[in-house]
Amino acid sequence: MQNDVQKQLQAELDRYLKNSDDFTPYYPGMNVLYSELYKEQLKEAIELVKLHSEADVKGFELYLDTIIVNMHTKVKKYKKSIYFDDDNIKDIENQGFTIPFYIDEKNKLYILLGLVNAQVTASS
């Protein structure tokens, strides 16, 4: 399963490097963009949290939002991604999920490549 995840994340990175216009700003004017894979996996994560407790969904979204909005202040603290051998790709770990993100130093952007359920990749 981890190999499939790596392929999906690599495909998103390749897509960004070919045409960054396909990526959406997290918030207008923000230097964080997200991929379609991130958007899809976020929906899946919310459904998973909702199965456990619908009340936890808002807290999950709020906490995730806070981490992403403030990520630029903590980029140095995040570890190199377990999915890539590249110092410009790091992982944010949050509530059983991992967010691999690419640091585009040239354009001063952070690209959210995906939102990986750590339990799914660990069980395979």
Instruction: From first to last of the 124 residues of the chain, give the pLDDT tens digit.
Output: 568 999 999 999 999 999 988 899 999 888 999 999 999 999 999 999 999 888 889 999 999 999 999 999 999 999 999 999 999 999 999 888 999 999 999 999 999 999 999 776 544 4
Overall pTM surpassing 0.85 (yes/no): yes
pLDDT at 124: 47
pLDDT at 55: 85
**Burial per residue of 10-49, b for 16 or more beta-carbon CB atoms within 10 angstroms, e otherwise:** eebbebbeeeeeebeebeeeeebbbbebbeebbeebbebb
The C-alpha atoms of residue 117 and residue 75 are separated, in whole angstroms, by 21
**Which pairs count as long-range contacts for 17-20, CB under 8 Å and 24+ apart, including other chains?**
20/104, 20/107, 20/109, 20/111
State the amino acid at position 51 in one-letter form: L
